[in-house]
Amino acid sequence: MRIDLARPAGPTFLLAVAFCAAALAAALPAPEDALTGWLGAAVLFQSVPASAVFFLMLMRLIPGAWERDLRVPCEAATALLFPAAAAFVPVLFGIPFIYHWDGGASAFHALWLQPLFFAARTALYFAFLFWMVRLHVGRRPSAGAAAAGLILFTLLATMAATDWLMSLDPSFASSGFGLQVLSIEVVIGFAALLLVRLARGPAERPGVLGGLFLTLMLLWIYFQFMPYFIIWSGNLPDAVAWYQARKQASWPLTLWLVALIGGSTTAALLFSAFRANSRWLFTLAAATVGGKVLEMAWFALPGRGAIAVLAYLAAVLGLAILGVIQLLRRREAPT
């Protein structure tokens, strides 16, 4: 059965709006929980267009067979950048409910955690992404511009991750936190782009895409393990407390599921029978998206109540459906 998604008033669009509205409506009785759930979903959603921009810059520096498979999905996914930025409007208005900043331990801390400064940094991050879209979509800028863009992207994306998620606990500090979150964002972005590409048919060079997928998963494992190892070996009290908060309720089970999905996917990609097969790549990408949805919840929601989880799931579903609608409208003929 073919569903017509061309009309904004279509049932699929209304379903997406209903999920998003339900997530935000939960802020009336429980603003802290519901808006934190929305924050997690917004960070997850912006990962797709942000990763698309990242890969477009990388294609300029490392051209090859993978560009023929991924350029069209990447350029289509940049259309999600505006709704991704709009998804942070409730976050910016909800700063007093989401974040518990008490002035900080230093003058710099107090300045950095000012709501207006926080909003300005978020705006700067999205302004940079829009600028990169103008430079790279349908164009081929110089290699120097692409290299500079990748450096700025890494700096701004890790800063944004620190702002959005690490400052949920102002007593926690980790120099590797931004890279932890960035590795999650790039993996889920790549997995989503891979799903978009493979939905059109088998890839031209699935082995190349599978090799890139494996590389990203190995980097994800490294960036998730090293901060934990450093904190554990150093026995840093504030950082240990951050992990202790994730030993409550069902969060240990969530972490085990994340590890199982991520580990199984990485293990499968070690074998060319999986890595070079478009059908298996589609399955592994879909599983990875599910695992990253769980992982983002593990990063953002511990310490909040059940409403935070429900709002997060509703917002993820709503934003995901809106994203699929937008991508279907921007679909192009296979190359």
Q: What is the pLDDT of residues 322-331, one digit of tens each?
A: 999 888 777 5
pLDDT at res. 3: 36
Asked if the structure places residue 4 within a domain, the reply is: no
Q: Is the pLDDT of residue 297 over 90?
A: yes
The pLDDT tens digits of the residues spanning 40-91 come to 999 999 999 999 999 999 999 998 888 999 999 999 999 999 999 999 999 9
pLDDT at res. 104: 55
Task: State how far the Cα of 126 lies from the Cα of 84, in Å rounded to an integer.
Answer: 9
Between vectors from CA 154 to CA 292 and to CA 113, what angle results, nearest 5°? 85
Task: State how far the Cα of 208 lies from the Cα of 202, in Å rounded to an integer.
Answer: 13
Type and span of the H or E element at 1 = none
Query: 176-190, 208-222, 227-241, 283-297: which has the minimum mean pLDDT?
Result: 227-241
Query: 208-217, 237-246, 287-296: which has the minimum mean pLDDT?
Result: 237-246
Type and span of the H or E element at 179 = helix 177-199
* Distance between first and last Cα of the chain: 26
DSSP string, 23-52: HHHTTTT-HHHHHHHHHHHHHHHHHHHHHH
Task: State how far the Cα of 246 lies from the Cα of 66, in Å rounded to an integer.
Answer: 38
pLDDT at res. 103: 59
Asked if the structure places residue 23 within a domain, the reply is: no
The pLDDT tens digits of the residues spanning 253-274 come to 999 999 999 999 999 999 999 9
| For range 293-303, the mean pLDDT | 96
Close Cβ partners of 125 (under 8 Å, ≥ 6 residues apart)? 156, 157, 159, 160
Q: Is the pLDDT of residue 224 over 50?
A: yes
| For range 18-33, the mean pLDDT | 96
Q: Is the pLDDT of residue 197 over 90?
A: yes
Asked if the structure places residue 60 within a domain, the reply is: yes
- Residue 201, phi-psi category: left (phi > 0), alpha (psi -120 to 50), beta (remainder): left
Asked if the structure places residue 327 within a domain, the reply is: no
**Taking the model in full, what pTM does it have?**
0.92
Asked if the structure places residue 326 within a domain, the reply is: no
Close Cβ partners of 305 (under 8 Å, ≥ 6 residues apart)? 30, 33
Closest listed residue to residue 120, CA positions, set 98, 92, 146, 84: 92
Asked if the structure places residue 134 within a domain, the reply is: yes
| For range 188-216, the mean pLDDT | 94
pLDDT at res. 38: 98
Q: Is the pLDDT of residue 2 over 60?
A: no
- Range(s) of the domain holding residue 243: 33-306
For residue 138, report the phi and psi dihedrals to the nearest 5 degrees.
75, 10
pLDDT at res. 241: 84
Write the CATH number for 130.
1.20.1630
Between vectors from CA 274 to CA 268 and to CA 280, what angle results, nearest 5°? 105
pLDDT at res. 333: 40
User: How many domains does the chain divide into?
Assistant: 1
Amino acid (one-letter) located at 326: Q
Task: State how far the Cα of 151 lies from the Cα of 155, in Å rounded to an integer.
Answer: 6
The pLDDT tens digits of the residues spanning 83-135 come to 999 999 999 999 999 998 875 567 777 788 899 999 999 999 999 999 999 99
The pLDDT tens digits of the residues spanning 225-241 come to 988 888 877 777 777 88
Between vectors from CA 35 to CA 153 and to CA 192, what angle results, nearest 5°? 45
The pLDDT tens digits of the residues spanning 209-220 come to 999 999 999 999
Query: Cβ-count burial of 332 within 10 angstroms (0-12 exposed, 13-18 middle, 19+ buried)?
Result: exposed
The pair of three-digit structure tokens given for residue 221, joined into one six-digit string: 């494992």
